[in-house]
């Protein structure tokens, strides 16, 4: 399938061929959901921790005698039923990561790209190059109507463009190997350079 390409100044840059097996799929939310869950689980730190009964700072002395008090028998002030006692089966540091096959992750990326194209939120530009001036790039982004955009370049991101985009709110830049389902879906506009299209097609075939 054909897609029009533009320049950063809004001018035409011809067209580019998009592989239908990558950009022409019918997006499935269940596949996208599974891949996003896998990504977010990997990003979760898992450093949550609570003190158990054996870890709270209390004396181990029996708090009162076993019999004759008229109350229930207790041996430790650190028991979970007491205020400031240990937590019963509380969270401990662990990894939230779970398995997802490489084949399925590739499929998820294909569906994410197809979803953006179908929604009309995919833009192809000739190159992502600029002189390194943030103000100039900000004007170009505003004139193109990109509110929250993700720009994906080829194997290497142009240094001047990355430097200029660094201080522009809601404009993210990634190399082709950094393309992922979560960042693609959360952007309002997905911007691919011609080099990015070639790199993604080579990666996903």
Confidence at residue 205, expressed as pLDDT on a 0 to 100 scale: 86
Same domain, 68 and 128: no
Confidence at residue 60, expressed as pLDDT on a 0 to 100 scale: 83
Same domain, 164 and 111: yes
Confidence at residue 9, expressed as pLDDT on a 0 to 100 scale: 87
List pLDDT tens digits, range 126-155: 999 987 789 999 999 999 999 999 999 999
Neighbours of 12 (CB within 10 A): 10
Which whole number is the average pLDDT over 81-110? 95
Domain count, the chain: 2
List pLDDT tens digits, range 18-66: 999 999 999 999 999 999 999 999 999 999 999 999 999 988 889 999 9
Same domain, 109 and 128: yes
Same domain, 142 and 197: yes
First to last CA, the chain: 16
118, 27 in Cβ contact below 8 A?
yes
Q: What CATH number is attached to the domain comprising 9?
A: 3.40.1370.10
Same domain, 73 and 166: no
Tokens of 53: 């009964």
Same domain, 58 and 141: no
Residue 69 lies in domain: 50-90
Which whole number is the average pLDDT over 107-136? 93
Cα-atom radius of gyration of the chain, to the nearest Å? 27
Confidence at residue 98, expressed as pLDDT on a 0 to 100 scale: 96
191, 151 in Cβ contact below 8 A?
yes
Confidence at residue 21, expressed as pLDDT on a 0 to 100 scale: 95
Same domain, 84 and 144: no
């Amino acid at each position: 399938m054909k897609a029009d390409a533009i320049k950063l100044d809004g001018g035409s840059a011809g067209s580019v061929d998009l592989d239908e097996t990558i950009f022409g799929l019918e997006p499935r939310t269940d596949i996208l959901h599974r891949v996003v869950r896998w990504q977010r689980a990997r990003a979760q730190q898992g450093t949550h921790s609570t003190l158990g009964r054996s870890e709270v700072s209390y004396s181990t002395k029996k708090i009162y005698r076993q019999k004759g008090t008229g109350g229930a028998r207790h041996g430790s002030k650190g028991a979970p039923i007491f205020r400031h006692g240990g937590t019963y089966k509380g969270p401990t540091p662990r990894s939230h990561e779970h398995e997802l096959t490489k084949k399925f992750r590739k499929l998820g990326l294909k569906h994410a790209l197809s979803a953006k194209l179908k929604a009309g939120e995919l833009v192809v530009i000739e190159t992502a190059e600029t002189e390194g001036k943030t103000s100039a790039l900000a004007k170009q982004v505003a004139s193109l109507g990109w509110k929250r955009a993700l720009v994906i370049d080829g194997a290497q991101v142009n240094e001047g463009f990355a430097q200029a985009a660094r201080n522009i709110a809601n404009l993210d830049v990634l190399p082709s190997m950094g393309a992922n389902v979560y960042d693609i879906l959360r952007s309002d506009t997905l911007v691919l350079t011609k080099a990015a299209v070639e790199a993604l097609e080579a990666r996903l075939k």
